[in-house]
């Protein structure tokens, strides 16, 4: 009999909540395969992210890899944009926006991120599918683990772990391909000339993926992920959660198919335990909301399948809210959620403005600290500066330096600088005063760097020109 066809009618009593011993031996969870409405949704949320992760390094944007974090060159290429270490403030914007977006989604719809799009959930689902493909249904896996070692058991275990390691290696290789050009990395493997550092990180992420998705699984969600611990802070009585309707389901009890529950004075729950058997974290949702619940809705699809076969209304376990269960009105928009949305909108707009106004030229000027000014052989007052210029475009550029001041100062040396893409140079610059000026200690001075091929690209930095007070 297939697992999906089983409608168990055990008369076991409902599970009781007890204290958890953190040092108790872990009991392996054998999940039952389940299909349904919400599992089809998970396919449309998890697989696009999975395919995007594996395929993105192989696409080019112009002459460059579409997404490449080139650490040796200190360039972060994302589609048509190039970011530099100086742009790390944008990373802070992205992280803050992502955090507030997670808060808003959690306040509105509970842990849908955990259940549908979290990498731990998606990768674990792949590993569990491999396990079911190789070792069979839930009952077959339980029997296989309990059976003594045999040729068949060894072959199945080796095949499962081999497929796990293969997928984990592909995950590790892809991760490193975001930092080393994917085609170059693949060619180095074919020629057995992989960079030792790249090989180390591939091995590291291969073992990490193999351990997290293959062995730890729900332990990552229960004990390692902080999100499970502080999610309750973002919940309120209008947050969507997966809940069991006790008023409708209790008391539980077994019965024949198509037999109305009213004949036995029982609730709609037949206590088949299917909701527990499909749960990837091994909890019983009928015990109430628990931090271990990742909101994957497997129990919802499992219960709905049983209700359909028993010809009972669906929704005994469903996405609902505390207010809905209590018969109170549900509010979609509430102050906390509106606050999150407003914060996200403001920060997103600020980040877009920041990116749009990001200069393609980076110019910094530092005065000589050894002396305020110099007097050359011609009797002219000189100030010495160190100019740092960076080309933040993806093409070689020629820049012209110029200065402006209320004093008739002159920029010495060659005012034109050639820079390759991403090149950063520092060089000394002299600025001198040809003739005597007013009895002032100095005046404001502005340096300009202008792209000769596009004069609209200009960067400026203010400094100061200093001289003796009695200059004449």
Report the C-alpha gap between 60 and 8 in whole angstroms: 54
Report the C-alpha gap between 319 and 322 in whole angstroms: 10
What angle do the packed helices 138-146 and 119-135 form, to 10 degrees?
A: 70
Residue 438 reports pLDDT greater than 90: no
Report the mean per-residue pLDDT for the chain: 87
CA atoms in the 13 A half-sphere facing the CB of 85: 9
- Flag whether the pTM goes above 0.85: no
- Closest-CA residue to 377 (of 432, 415, 441): 432
How would residue 90 be classed by pLDDT, with cut points 50, 70 and 90?
A: confident
Q: Do the Cβ atoms of 106 and 231 come closer than 8 Å?
A: yes
168 exposure class (CB count in 10 Å sphere: 0-12, 13-18, 19+):
buried
Q: What are the tens digits of pLDDT across the range 155-184?
A: 999 999 999 999 999 999 999 999 999 999
Structure tokens at 110: 């509970």
Omega of the bond prior to 401 within 30 degrees of 0, cis? no
Give the rounded distance of the alpha carbon of 445 from its chain centre. 45
Q: Which residues of 332-367 are buried (b: 16+ CB within 10 A; e: fewer)?
A: eeeeebeebbebbeebeeebeeeeeeeebbbbebeb
Residue 264 reports pLDDT greater than 80: no
pLDDT of the residue at 209 = 97
pLDDT of the residue at 54 = 96
pLDDT of the residue at 232 = 78
Integer-rounded Cα Rg, in Å, for the chain is: 33
Of 174-183, 232-241, 348-357, 438-447, where does mean pLDDT reach its minimum? 438-447
The residues facing 284 across adjacent strands are none
pLDDT of the residue at 10 = 38
Using left for φ > 0, alpha for ψ between -120 and 50, and beta otherwise, residue 442 falls in: left
Torsion, Cα 195 198 204 205, to 10 degrees, reads: -140
Q: Do the Cβ atoms of 170 and 189 come closer than 8 Å?
A: no
Q: What are the tens digits of pLDDT across the range 131-144?
A: 999 999 999 999 99
pLDDT of the residue at 135 = 96
pLDDT of the residue at 3 = 45
Report the C-alpha gap between 125 and 297 in whole angstroms: 13
Q: How many CB atoms lie within 10 A of CB 401?
A: 19
| Consecutive H or E run containing 108 | helix 88-109
Residue 124 reports pLDDT greater than 90: yes
- Closest-CA residue to 351 (of 99, 96, 104, 105): 96
How would residue 254 be classed by pLDDT, with cut points 50, 70 and 90?
A: confident
Average pLDDT over residues 99-119: 92
The dotted CATH code for 361-466 is: 2.60.40.10
pLDDT of the residue at 23 = 59
Identify the residue with better confidence: 333 or 130: 130
Q: Do the Cβ atoms of 13 and 257 come closer than 8 Å?
A: no
Q: What are the tens digits of pLDDT across the range 335-394?
A: 999 999 999 999 999 888 887 777 788 888 998 888 888 888 777 888 999 999 888 877
Structure tokens at 66: 């579409």
Q: Please report, for the chain, the start and end positions of each structural domain, with discontinuous segments joined by +.
A: 31-83+118-233, 361-466
Report the C-alpha gap between 110 and 114 in whole angstroms: 9
């Amino acid at each position: 009999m297939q697992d999906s066809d089983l409608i168990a009618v055990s008369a076991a009593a409902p599970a009781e909540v007890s204290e958890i011993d953190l040092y108790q031996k872990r009991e392996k969870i054998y999940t039952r395969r389940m299909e349904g409405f919400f599992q089809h949704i998970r396919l449309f949320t998890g697989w696009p992210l999975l395919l995007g992760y594996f395929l993105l390094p192989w696409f080019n944007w112009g002459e460059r890899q579409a997404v490449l974090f080139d650490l040796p060159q200190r360039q972060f290429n994302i589609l048509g944009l190039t970011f530099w270490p100086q742009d790390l403030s944008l990373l802070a914007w992205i992280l803050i926006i992502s955090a507030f977006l997670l808060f808003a989604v959690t306040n509105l719809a509970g842990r849908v991120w955990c259940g549908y799009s979290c990498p731990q959930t998606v990768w674990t689902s792949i590993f569990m599918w491999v396990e079911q493909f190789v070792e069979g249904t839930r009952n077959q896996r339980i029997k296989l683990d309990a059976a003594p070692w045999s040729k068949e058991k060894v072959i199945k275990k080796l095949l499962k772990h081999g497929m796990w390691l293969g997928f984990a290696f592909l995950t590790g290789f892809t991760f490193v391909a975001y930092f080393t050009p994917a085609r170059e990395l693949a060619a180095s493997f074919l020629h057995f000339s992989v960079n030792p550092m790249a090989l180390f990180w591939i091995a590291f992420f291969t073992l990490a993926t193999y351990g997290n998705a293959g062995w730890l699984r729900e332990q990552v969600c229960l004990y390692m992920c902080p999100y499970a611990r502080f999610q309750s802070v973002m919940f309120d009585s209008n947050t969507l959660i997966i809940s069991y309707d006790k008023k409708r389901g209790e008391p539980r009890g077994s019965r024949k198919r198509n037999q109305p529950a009213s004949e036995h004075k029982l609730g709609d729950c037949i206590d088949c335990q299917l909701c527990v058997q499909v749960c990837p974290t091994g909890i019983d949702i009928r015990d109430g909301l628990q931090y271990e619940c990742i909101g994957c809705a497997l129990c919802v699809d499992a219960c709905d399948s049983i209700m359909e076969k028993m010809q009972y209304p669906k929704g005994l376990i469903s996405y609902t809210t505390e207010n809905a269960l209590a018969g109170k009105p549900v509010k979609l928009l509430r102050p906390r959620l509106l606050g999150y949305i407003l914060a996200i909108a403001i920060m997103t707009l600020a980040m877009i403005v920041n990116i749009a106004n990001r200069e393609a030229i980076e110019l910094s000027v530092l005065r000589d600290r050894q002396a305020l000014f110099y007097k050359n052989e011609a009797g002219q007052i000189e100030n010495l500066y160190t100019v740092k210029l960076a080309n933040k475009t993806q093409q070689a550029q020629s820049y012209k330096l110029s200065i402006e001041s209320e004093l008739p100062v002159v920029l010495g040396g060659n005012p034109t600088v050639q820079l390759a893409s991403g090149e950063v140079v520092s060089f000394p610059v002299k600025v001198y005063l040809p003739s005597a000026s007013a009895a002032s200690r100095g005046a404001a001075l502005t340096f300009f760097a202008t792209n000769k091929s596009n004069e609209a690209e200009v960067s400026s930095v203010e400094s100061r020109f200093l001289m003796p007070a009695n200059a004449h």
